[in-house]
A and B are shown apart, each in its own frame.
Chain A
Amino acid sequence: MSAQKFPALLLGAALAFLTAFFLIPMTVVLVASLQDKAGGLSIAQYARVLADSYHLAVVLTTFRISIFTTLLCVALAYPLAWYLVRIVRWRWWRRACVILLVIPLFTSNIVRSFGWIVLLGRNGLVNDAAVALGLADRPMRILGTETAILVGMVYVLLPLAVLGIGNALLKVDRALESASDDLGATPLRTFLHITFPLTLPGVVASAVMVFTLATSAYVTPALLSGGRVTVLSMLIFQQYSATFDFSFGGALSIVLLALTLILVGVASRFGKVRT
């Protein structure tokens, strides 16, 4: 067997499978999105997504939630990663914490969102606590708001950010920090000028991952929105399960794909990392 044919043989099955069940279906979606009712070529479906104020609002809501989710995830993940990598002394405690971080990753988004449905409900623990502490006169409606979706999304994606940033912190050469300290820099200055820049590629990579998963998340927003907030993935789901408008569904899908890929591209260039 020639050296050229062998890799083709090894790749053959995987490539054939993905062509049949990934590439062709995605092409079908793209083609459908460019068709009008009569089957002619048309960009009317895209105009419907971007020119209609309701649909545009859904796109904006999706990206607003995704951006806030990303910012909150990074803001919470950095201290936790720092604590686990730099502060914890007992190895068994770090190991226990890592297990606590990973258990949610092994549990479905439904179960994790369900926990928040219970917690954020009108008679849930959060409202009870808010009333007891005098933060609110009576139970607030939290479920079905963007805040609820945000709480759930940050919760679902935070472990990934902690692991990503933690790995970046582990790789930092401590000698550089010592050098900075020896030269008289305050701990804050050392952090801002040495440690943080060194972990930046890891932070950006984690942020990009969180952002992509947040824009495409379906289960968490569907469960915590209570039908009052709609994000892009929910709109796509409706087209394929209720209204059966495959052309419009296709256009929405392509918009979601394009916006995700563009933002990932920009962020990767900014952080000079490959995802």
Chain B
Amino acid sequence: MIRRFFVTLIALLTLAYLVLPLVVILGSSVTTTPFLSFPPQGASLKWYATMLHEPGYVSAYATSTMLATSATALAMLLAVPAAIALARYEYAGKRSVHALLSAPMVLPHIVLAAALLQFGGSFGLVRNFPSLLVGHVVIVMPFILQSVMPLFTSGQLALEEASADLGATRLETFFLVTLPQIRPGLVAGAVIAFITSWINVEMSIFNTTAELNTIPVKLFNYVQYTIDPTIAAVSGATIVAAAIAILVLDLSIGLGMLDETP
């Protein structure tokens, strides 16, 4: 009983440790003082308004959204066929191919980014949107591969054969039979890919400019030198966005984490 009490105590303190910084940011973002203060003095959304009136932030949000969307879409186009080839077929070198396709997930992003900078620099693939895009596709592709691959089961193969027997072409079978069955993996993979791209600093930092900036890089460069309530508001906005995304996910497809009955 005493042991159980201590485990619970440690667990709750750890949870508090996980929540505290987020509470501090959200709290200090509503302060009325012109400097950062926690607990906040008063409550107002004026720093959020300041953020929205600064064109730099708005355009950075737009760049980040466009980058995350296009990187996710492109990565899906590349990773889904590759997942089929890995899950369904046997051939020499399959393990190496799988290792290569998953490698960007375990390698340091700053190293990948530096490599792309050095290589892309030789033919002008630097400090423009395409240079950001290729880097983000490289790092999000493994996540899509990983979420989609387990969904290609052998039971599906029978359904696909049935579809082919009934006269459907390969493409028709893919869109009408295979795709609906791997949808949960696609959704989960796309969400993880989008978030990974949306919050990434390392892959973008060498390729951003004053005009072309993503929100994480802008925040990163700012926080290194000054902290003020506007930054707390920008950060607070991303926390609220994350919380909404997770609630929507949990209520729609369900996070199903650490639950005995998934």
A and B pair up: yes
Closest partner residue, chain A, to B245 (CB atom): A106
What are the residues of chain A within 8 A of B223 when measuring CB–CB? Answer: 110, 113-114, 117, 223
Q: Mark B224-262, 1 if CB is under 8 A from A, else 0.
A: 100100011001001100110111001000010111100
Q: Counting CB contacts under 8 A, is A11 at the interface? A: yes
Q: How far is the CA of A87 from the CA of B219 in the complex (A)?
A: 39
In the complex, chain A residues whose CB is within 8 Å of the CB of B30: none
**Complex Cα gap A166–B119 (Å):** 41
The reply to whether A108 and B28 contact each other, CB–CB distance below 8 Å, is no
CB < 8 Å: which of B106, B141, B235 contacts A114?
B235
Quick check: is A68 within 8 A (CB to CB) of the other chain?
Answer: no
Residue B91 CB within 8 A of the other chain: yes
Query: Does B175 sit at the interface, judged by CB under 8 A?
Result: no
Which residue on chain A has the smallest CB distance to residue B91? A7
24 CB contacts below 8 A, A to B, read: A13-B77, A14-B101, A15-B101, A28-B119, A76-B10, A84-B258, A94-B259, A95-B259, A98-B259, A102-B257, A104-B22, A106-B242, A106-B245, A107-B238, A109-B199, A112-B22, A114-B21, A115-B25, A125-B38, A212-B106, A222-B224, A246-B118, A249-B114, A264-B106
From B77, B111, B198, name the one whose CB has the most chain A CB atoms within 10 angstroms: B111
Between B12, B198, B239, B245, the greatest number of chain A beta carbons within 10 A of the residue's beta carbon is seen for B239
Assuming A79-B11, A107-B22, is B17 touching A6 (CB within 8 A)? no
A38 within 8 A of B: no
Q: Which of A101, A111, A124, A250 counts the most B-chain CB atoms under 10 A from its CB?
A: A111
Contact A87 B4 (CB under 8 A): yes
* B interface majority secondary structure: helix
List residues of A whose CB falls within 8 A of some B CB: 3-4, 6-8, 10-11, 13-15, 17-18, 21-26, 28-29, 32, 76-77, 79-85, 87, 91, 94-95, 97-104, 106-119, 124-125, 155, 158-159, 163, 166-167, 170, 187-188, 212, 215-216, 218-219, 222-223, 233, 236-237, 239-241, 246, 249-250, 253, 256-257, 260, 264, 275
A123 → B minimal CB distance (Å): 9
Quick check: A76 and B14 within 8 Å, CB to CB?
yes
Interface of A is mostly: helix
Give the 7 A-B residue pairs with the shortest CB-CB distance, closest first: A115-B21, A216-B108, A83-B11, A108-B199, A25-B115, A106-B242, A25-B119
Chain A residue at minimal CB-CB distance from B115: A25
Q: Does B78 contact A (CB under 8 A)?
A: yes
Asked whether B17 lies within 8 Å of A155 as measured between CB atoms, the reply is: yes
Indicate the size class of the contact surface on chain B: 35 or more
Instruction: Output the least CB separation between B262 and chain A (Å).
Output: 9
A187 to B1 CA separation, bound complex (whole angstroms): 11
Is A18 a contact partner of B21 (Cβ separation < 8 A)?
no
Closest approach, in angstroms, between the C-beta of B148 and any C-beta of chain A? 12
Rounded to whole angstroms, the CA-CA distance of A236 and B250 in the bound complex is 39
- Cβ of B52 within 8 Å of any chain A Cβ, yes or no, is no
**B51 to nearest A CB, angstroms?**
14
Of the stretches B132-140, B155-163, B181-189, the one at the interface is B132-140
